[in-house]
Structure 1
Amino acid sequence: MKPLDPRLLRHARSARTFVVLAALLSVGATLAVIVSAFAIAHALAPVVEGRAELVDVLPAVGVLLGAVLARTGLVWLRERLGQSAAVATVGELRGALLRHATRMPHRWRVRRGDDVTVLATRGLDDLVPYLTGYLPQLLLTAILTPIALVVVLRLDLISGVIIAVTLPLVPLFMWLVGVTTRTYADERLAALTRQGSQLLDLLAGLTTLRALGREIGPGRRVRQLGDAYRRTTMQTLRVAFLSGAVLELLASLAVALVAVEIGMRLVYGHIDLTTGLTVLILAPEIYLPLRAVGAQFHASTNGLAAAQRTFEVLQEPLPAAGTRPVPAWTRLHLTGVGVRAGDRGYLAPGNLHAVVEPGCVTALAGASGAGKTTAAMTLLRLQPLDDGAIRLEHDDGSTDLADVATDGPDGWWAQTSWVPQRVATVGGTIASHVGATDDAIRDAAAAATGLLDVVASLPRGWDTPLASGEGGLSSGLSVGQTQRLELTRALVSGSRLVVLDEPTAHLAARDEAAVVDAVRAVARAGAAVVVIAHRPTMLAAADRVVTVRSTPAPEPTTAPVPA
């Protein structure tokens, strides 16, 4: 990633605003530094040379005090703005990342989901040091260093030439060290991604592992990943400390060289004390922003690596999306539907034929990995087809190709509902989650799905609060009850197509029967229900059972080469 990547400014409005404000504050800080140098020199030189009393230099002292206060205030304001901009920028990038990822095909999310999860949670938080430390210092360097150097050249050509010759050595060493640090930062982020993926897999399968008595074994692998993350972090810190010492030594030697030559010329009277003091005060200030940039760079490398990965995700092309309204339909016909399983050489699903119609429950059955979830994603317009087609049948018996490129997914999603195994809630109450504007419609839908009995058993009824998170209901609702909650929501919204992923998985027999009845109630209300199912009870309750299979992927055809 570049020191100031244009993609950051393009995707985060807060970053653009902060860059402008930080540049203006840097101009003010630069003027304060230069004024301070002149004020100190004009206050000390006359007193040292005996040309003035202390009272005579009080105006210069007053100017110095004002410049110091102005510089302090500008730095404080820049830091406050930097903290606010960092929080807002990380939030904007996280939102853009999640919105982009949710519009990508299902198979892409399966492949890159762990990477997106790490970036959206821990990864982008590392961008805060870049925005609060590195970027402001970079802007200050770009403004203060050249302006102060020009002032020194105007005051004393010899000192200005020495600074101009030694100054490029600092960014040169920064670049050499930065290449090594970036490698360690990339390795650290990769280790964090692997660790996060392993933990997600472990937590998802912890119930099964514990049932089999294998919950201890994966801990060894997690510990190894943690050690790898610790090693890469320590390597980054080691390089940061060593490079910081190198930059400090280089800048100190350059300033010392300026001080020695000014001292020699003061002895022989080749430069006056006021000019010499001004140059001596400005010389460290010229190197200081570069040294600060070098120090802040190492703290921001992890964030830069995360931002680079985020921009790579945001540059992934989205599926085509049109704006044509979705025409009314009475049936969905899946004809020879196939989706490539990455680069594994087969379609999952492959050659899938099915009819989905309102009032019926269609179950997708088959072996694990056959493509049942992917088939459901094609119905939800979350996964484009590689083979076959989905057609809409209308009242007059005619059919129309369901083309996401012309229809657009938004119109389709407005008439569909997706109920995963573990329901995610965003707070509020049960009533607000269901979303009905009419209590009679809400109660009728809840009665059909069995949710009304659940609500009646709760002390606060429909006003029972829901916690934010996956399956996290502060009311203590069971998994089966949350499934009925989502089915009620689908009934209230009038969804034409309702897709469920294993709604009875891990449920006791009583809860399973209640969820099956709720699924049947949704179908009786006129929705086309598609269920990914394994358990016999759910399969027996379905009107149609479609077996999903994987098939070998056809070889890509190539056009003949003209003779």
Structure 2
Amino acid sequence: MKPLDPRLPAHTRAARVFLTGTVLFGLVTTGLVLAQAVLLARILAGAFHGQGVAPLASAFVLLLIVVAGRALAAYGAEAMALRAASAVKSQLRRALVEHVLRLGPGWMDASPEHDERAAEATASKPGELATLATRGLDALDAYFARYLPQLVLACLTPLAVLAVVGGADPLSAGVIAATLPLIPIFMILVGLHTRARTERQWTLLQRLGGHFLDVVEGLPTLKVFGRAKAQAEVIREVTGAHRRATMRTLRVAFLSALVLELLSTLAVALVAVEIGLRLLGGGVPYETALLVLLLAPEAYLPLRNVGAQFHASMEGVTAAGRVLDVLDIAAPEERTATGHAPEDAPLRLEGVTVRYPGRDRPALADVSLEVGAGERLVVIGPSGGGKSTLLAVILRFVQPTEGCTGFDDVPVAEWRKRLSWVPQDPYLFTGSVADNIRLGDPGADDRAVRRAAELAGADAFIRRSPGGYGTPIGERGLRLSSGERQRIALARAFLRDAPVLLLDEPTAHLDGENAREIRATVERLMAGRTVVLVTHDHTWTGVADRVAEIDNGRLVVHEGTREPLAVAS
């Protein structure tokens, strides 16, 4: 593992400022360490030779100043590190959320590539991202406040100690120089072993977080079908696996700390023995011997601390690396050129093929299609035939593997302003009814929101609610029926008033009465708009200018029919 991911400073300004400050504090701390050893050796040697208090008073005062300076430097470095960690976490979280929004739902739903990590991780991407943005990035505190400062000291202090000891006693400096490399060598060996264990621990944590999120969201369904206890057992197994992986990682951390402590203790003892024997033989002055004995532990201490803090920081480093991996993925805006297309330009696909990783056959295969302004196209086909992928390409949630579209040169944000989308299962957020409708046009006033609700047939049930348009609806609209959720989604589309309307199974999962009412609302919404409606319900073909059939990713367009197609028996 690299001590510092080179991508981190590039993504966070706070990291660059912190690294500069850490080096400066490291230089100050190293200077104070050397000054403290020199002053303490002078005081002890003076006392040994019988000097009085007066000659040593100035050294005492300077020693107190140096000790206070070390304390202040340590406090300042840690305070700056914690502030930097907080800023870095905030910047990474914001960058992660903004970049995932740019990547879009197509990336969130894509199958993972077949690498070793993905093979083990069964967590959904939303669960993984939630774990990364919360628990994962919170672990960066130890990395910034403990590990990086010690890493800087480990680079500066041993060299400074060798320079000072070398000027006072070259033989002792040679012993220190010969034994110092042993600690980094063992740190590297232990680190290679620890990295694999930490990756395994983090993968299990992602799996646990993602699975727990899925279970909580699907708890009503699990209770109805009597599967809640079975899922609780699955969570218990995943939790147990994560606990065992964590304990194995901690065991390695404790053993490595023991090894590093043993090595540094033996090295200091070796220096103490050789300098002590020469002191007894009169081969080295007393003050020089004291200076060497005081500085020798300081040469090894930062290296020992780096080893100890390495394990504490690994979780944060791993999480930050995963976040940076996500940020390195090219977003659709970065793959498209800036351009402009007329508002009445046809919606066109030319030879579009979409392949998802890990799937043998394409979701769309050489699809060519042109929908003129104001035209209604109904696309019918079985589940899994490619209907949703077709809409995802138009929405630019998915980039075609092959072929092109007539809107490739239009910036993604500009293109989506022309679209209204009513999905099969509309997502409603925690908040009020008005807030959820206003997603169609965030700047709309209350009158426009009410008008959109009236057009969607939602005004009546909203007014019957205790809080009216201010009624909270719960996450995913759990307090509403399926028909009411669909009407909220249609109200969004009415409020958006975009020229192109995309509909995905608008009456799926609704009873007969609700389906008829929603159908009448949808037909009002279609008026004067370019419409692409995908469905497995053949009765929708009666409102179409053209009908297309899609199956196994292949699209066939039928010209000019408004009669419902016969349903194959």
Q: Shared topology, TM-score over 0.5?
A: yes
8 Å contact from structure 2 (residues 26, 153) kept in 1: yes
Q: CA offset at residue 500 of structure 1?
A: 4.8
1:415 alignment counterpart: 418
1:9 alignment counterpart: 9
Give SS of 1:548's match.
Answer: strand
Q: CA offset at residue 129 of structure 1?
A: 2.2
User: For residue 491 of structure 2, what is the amino acid of its counterpart?
Assistant: T
2:74 alignment counterpart: 75
Separation of aligned partners in 2, 1:167 and 1:102: 49
User: For residue 249 of structure 1, what is the amino acid of its counterpart?
Assistant: L
2:269 alignment counterpart: 256
From the superposition, tell whether residues 334 and 23 of structure 1 become closer, same or farther in structure 2 (CA, over 3 Å): same
Q: TM-score, normalised by structure 1?
A: 0.83
From the superposition, tell whether residues 477 and 123 of structure 1 become closer, same or farther in structure 2 (CA, over 3 Å): same
Deviates more, 1:452-461 or 1:353-362: 353-362
Separation of aligned partners in 2, 1:456 and 1:277: 86
User: For residue 59 of structure 1, what is the amino acid of its counterpart?
Assistant: S
2:27 alignment counterpart: 27
User: For residue 29 of structure 2, what is the amino acid of its counterpart?
Assistant: A
User: For residue 411 of structure 1, what is the amino acid of its counterpart?
Assistant: E
Q: Deviations over 1:376-399 (max 9, x none)?
A: 110111212235554xxxxxxxxx
Q: Deviations over 1:105-160 (max 9, x none)?
A: 75543224625454344434333322222112111212222122212212221221
| 2:249 pairs with one of 236, 253, 276 | 236
Separation of aligned partners in 2, 1:212 and 1:233: 34
User: For residue 342 of structure 2, what is the amino acid of its counterpart?
Assistant: P
| 2:361 pairs with one of 346, 356, 368 | 346
User: Within 5 Å, which residues of 2 pair with 1:118-517?
Assistant: 118-203=131-216, 205-319=218-332, 320-329=335-344, 331-334=346-349, 337-350=352-365, 352=367, 356=371, 364-387=379-402, 389-390=404-405, 401-402=406-407, 404=408, 406-420=409-423, 421-423=425-427, 425=429, 430=434, 433=439, 434-458=441-465, 461-462=468-469, 470-471=475-476, 480-501=483-504, 515-517=518-520
Q: CA offset at residue 237 of structure 1?
A: 0.6
Separation of aligned partners in 2, 1:439 and 1:411: 25
Separation of aligned partners in 1, 2:310 and 2:81: 16
Q: CA offset at residue 541 of structure 1?
A: 7.8
Q: CA offset at residue 276 of structure 1?
A: 2.3
From the superposition, tell whether residues 507 and 388 of structure 1 become closer, same or farther in structure 2 (CA, over 3 Å): same
Give SS of 2:339's match.
Answer: coil
Separation of aligned partners in 1, 2:107 and 2:146: 35
Deviates more, 1:36-45 or 1:106-115: 106-115
Q: CA offset at residue 440 of structure 1?
A: 4.1
Q: Deviations over 1:354-378 (max 9, x none)?
A: 6656667755543333222221110
From the superposition, tell whether residues 215 and 270 of structure 1 become closer, same or farther in structure 2 (CA, over 3 Å): same
2:41 alignment counterpart: 41
Separation of aligned partners in 2, 1:36 and 1:128: 29
From the superposition, tell whether residues 489 and 262 of structure 1 become closer, same or farther in structure 2 (CA, over 3 Å): same
User: For residue 22 of structure 1, what is the amino acid of its counterpart?
Assistant: T
From the superposition, tell whether residues 455 and 274 of structure 1 become closer, same or farther in structure 2 (CA, over 3 Å): farther
User: Within 5 Å, which residues of 2 pair with 1:509-528?
Assistant: 515-524=518-527, 526-528=528-530
From the superposition, tell whether residues 516 and 13 of structure 1 become closer, same or farther in structure 2 (CA, over 3 Å): farther
From the superposition, tell whether residues 83 and 458 of structure 1 become closer, same or farther in structure 2 (CA, over 3 Å): farther
Separation of aligned partners in 1, 2:65 and 2:318: 41
Give SS of 1:308's match.
Answer: helix
8 Å contact from structure 1 (residues 445, 492) kept in 2: yes
From the superposition, tell whether residues 96 and 510 of structure 1 become closer, same or farther in structure 2 (CA, over 3 Å): farther
Q: Deviations over 1:68-97 (max 9, x none)?
A: 222112212222222222232233333333
8 Å contact from structure 1 (residues 516, 541) kept in 2: no
Separation of aligned partners in 1, 2:548 and 2:218: 27
Q: TM-score, normalised by structure 2?
A: 0.82
Q: Which runs of 5+ in 2 are unaligned?
A: 113-123, 556-569
Q: Deviations over 1:242-264 (max 9, x none)?
A: 00011011111111222222222
Q: CA offset at residue 241 of structure 1?
A: 0.3
From the superposition, tell whether residues 452 and 145 of structure 1 become closer, same or farther in structure 2 (CA, over 3 Å): farther
Q: Deviations over 1:46-68 (max 9, x none)?
A: 12321223x44232222222222
Q: CA offset at residue 291 of structure 1?
A: 0.6
Give SS of 1:350's match.
Answer: strand
Give SS of 1:278's match.
Answer: helix
8 Å contact from structure 2 (residues 107, 397) kept in 1: no
User: For residue 386 of structure 1, what is the amino acid of its counterpart?
Assistant: T
User: For residue 2 of structure 1, what is the amino acid of its counterpart?
Assistant: K
2:94 alignment counterpart: 95
User: For residue 523 of structure 1, what is the amino acid of its counterpart?
Assistant: M
8 Å contact from structure 1 (residues 430, 465) kept in 2: no
Deviates more, 1:245-254 or 1:317-326: 317-326
Q: Which runs of 5+ in 1 are unaligned?
A: 391-400, 554-563
| Percent pairwise identity | 39
From the superposition, tell whether residues 276 and 438 of structure 1 become closer, same or farther in structure 2 (CA, over 3 Å): same
User: For residue 459 of structure 2, what is the amino acid of its counterpart?
Assistant: L
Give SS of 1:269's match.
Answer: coil
8 Å contact from structure 2 (residues 168, 288) kept in 1: yes
Deviates more, 1:431-440 or 1:163-172: 431-440
- Alignment RMSD (CA, Å): 3.4
Deviates more, 1:173-182 or 1:261-270: 261-270
User: For residue 339 of structure 1, what is the amino acid of its counterpart?
Assistant: V
Deviates more, 1:530-539 or 1:438-447: 530-539
| 2:552 pairs with one of 550, 553, 556 | 550
8 Å contact from structure 1 (residues 103, 382) kept in 2: no
8 Å contact from structure 1 (residues 361, 528) kept in 2: yes
User: For residue 446 of structure 1, what is the amino acid of its counterpart?
Assistant: A
Deviates more, 1:104-113 or 1:176-185: 104-113
In the alignment of these two chains, the number of paired residues is 535
From the superposition, tell whether residues 2 and 56 of structure 1 become closer, same or farther in structure 2 (CA, over 3 Å): same
From the superposition, tell whether residues 455 and 204 of structure 1 become closer, same or farther in structure 2 (CA, over 3 Å): closer
